[in-house]
Amino acid sequence: MSGHDNRSPEAELGLLDATMIGMGAMIGAGIFVLTGLAAEIAGPAALLVFVLNGVVTAFTGLSYAELASAIPKSGGGYAFVREIFDDLPSFLMGWMLWFAYMIAGALYALGFAPNFLELLHVYELVPPPEQIGSIAVPVVDAGVSAGFGLAFGAVLLLVALNAASTAASGSVETIFTATKVSILVVFVAFGATSPMFSGAEFQPLFSAGSGPSAVLPAMGLTFIAFEGYDLITTVTEEVENPRQNIPKAIFASLAVTILVYVTVVTVAIGTLGAQGLAEAGEAGIAEAATEFMPTGLPIIQNGGALIVFGAVFSTLTALNAVVIASSRVAFSMGREGQLLPRFGQLHHRYGTPFVAILASGVVMLGSVVLPTQSAGNMSSLFFLLSFIVVNGAVIKLRRERPSMNRPYEVPYYPIPPLMGIGLNLLLTVVLVVFLVRTDPMALVLSVGWMLLGGVAYVALDRVRAMQGADTEPTSTTMTSQERD
């Protein structure tokens, strides 16, 4: 009996689960580590940076909502582009998104490791992370760093969970995301009522060393923190009543995330000040929490420990979300014949895209050898490019199929998708210019991945042609493309 079949995925996720997948990816480690870096670039205007990124993100969110209601297929941006564009553009879109999600997964796993070690150190279970040596690997007589071992283990654990059950992985995402949002609510509550909080910290909004021109680079740096609502559309067929629930989940996850970000950044600047937040860098939120939160809290010893605890949950939920998303893109591509057919089949027992999940996990594990900064820049670049294409897909679909069933339509069309294209294109140019000066390796690797995709596309096309030539004379069975 074959281990896989061609069933459609079962709808096991509700509106809350779908919303938490988006929030789990967006409210990741970014809010903990990027706030201080944004303040270093833009000063008190870091608050404006997060607000404007929320606006930019919302334009593309509207496009995702309309496409998801009109094309209720798993695979996210790839599924939409596949429906609207020709073979090569849709393949490149899927190839790009698949890699972006997998790289993001490697980054989240590597971010989880030091935070988890720091959490263990807070409770005096291990020495400080920088003092922990290598872990011996049996059989091969070698050692790996504790951080790498934890990152590897986190990916393996969540890949196994996703391979075994979609419902279980969705429930874990819901629980973990609710936990970290609760932690940030506690942070905001203590900070906003602290004697340290002062509106004077926002005056002037643009300091002498960081004028309005600093806002745009800071937006490019922090944009990755708003990537995640699109993950909801990768599991469309696994969500109940997707035409209605997917748009609702997109809007709910965006609204809550923007609200959380703005309040957290407001409290951090209002208590530490932009300069203090900038000096703390990636530990800015933890530093702020340590300053104004009381000590001797139940279970959690102090504010800094609470934030480390939140960061552990944040990286795990973000990692779980991209394991889900990357595998569904690969599953959708396999089902459409743009990856090997095995990718597009469900496991006969678990009902999950088993091969797609395992393949995504393998590439995710291999991606940890990439330089962290380069991998992050590549992921941001691919997401920005994919958002441009998705906004273009809304316009193309409206023109070619005006009478198509769309339970949700973008208001004031075509202004939002055109704004989405223009703003994402602007951020893409800013990022590319930044990479030319600071990280050319990311550009080289990005081009290399797309060239590899071109080779894979040609090879798969030849395989399909050879299989068609072998079966055509003796079989009257229609191909999947003919059935479509």
Q: How far is CA 4 from the centre of its chain?
A: 28
Question: Domain for residue 137, yes or no?
Answer: no
- 3-class DSSP assignment, residue 388: helix
Tell me, yes or no, whether 484 lies in a domain.
no
Question: Into how many domains does the chain fold?
Answer: 1
Q: Which two tokens stand for residue 455?
A: 């080779």
Q: Is 319 inside a domain boundary?
A: yes
Q: Provide CB contacts within 8 A for 191, sequence distance 6+.
A: 197, 267, 268, 270, 271, 288, 289, 292, 293
Backbone conformation region of residue 207, classed left if phi is above 0, alpha if psi is from -120 to 50, else beta: beta
Handedness of CA 446, 451, 454, 456 (dihedral sign): negative
Is 6 within a domain? no
Q: What is the pLDDT of residue 164?
A: 77
- Is 470 inside any structural domain? no
Distance from C-alpha of 259 to C-alpha of 295, rounded to nearest angstrom: 27
pLDDT of residue 416: 94
Quick check: is 168 in a domain? yes
* CA within 13 Å, CB half, 209: 8
Asked whether residue 471 is domain-assigned, the answer is: no
Say how far residue 196 (Cα) sits from the centre of its chain. Answer: 34
Domain that holds residue 360: 12-129+143-463
Q: Rounded distance, CA 134 to CA 148, Å?
A: 9
CATH of the domain at 430: 1.20.1740.10
CA distance 353 to 368: 23
Unique residue bearing structure tokens 């790996």: 144
Put residue 299 in one of left, alpha, beta given phi > 0 → left and psi -120 to 50 → alpha. left
Beta bridge partners of 210: 207
What's the rounded Cα separation, in Å, for the pair 75 and 327?
Answer: 9
Backbone angles phi, psi at 409, to 5 degrees: -125, 140
Query: Is residue 64 a contact partner of residue 56, using CB atoms and an 8 Å limit?
Result: no
Task: Tell me the pLDDT of the chain (484 aa) as tens digits.
Answer: 345 555 566 777 888 888 888 888 888 767 777 788 788 888 888 889 899 988 888 999 999 999 999 998 888 888 899 988 888 889 999 999 898 888 888 878 877 877 788 778 777 777 776 667 666 555 545 556 777 778 778 888 888 887 777 677 777 778 888 888 888 898 899 888 888 888 778 887 776 666 777 888 788 778 778 878 888 888 888 888 888 999 999 999 999 999 999 999 999 898 888 888 888 776 778 778 878 877 766 666 667 778 888 888 888 888 888 888 888 888 888 888 888 878 877 777 777 788 888 888 888 887 777 766 677 778 888 888 999 999 999 999 999 999 999 999 999 999 999 999 998 898 889 888 888 888 888 888 889 989 999 898 888 888 777 776 665 544 333 444 444 4
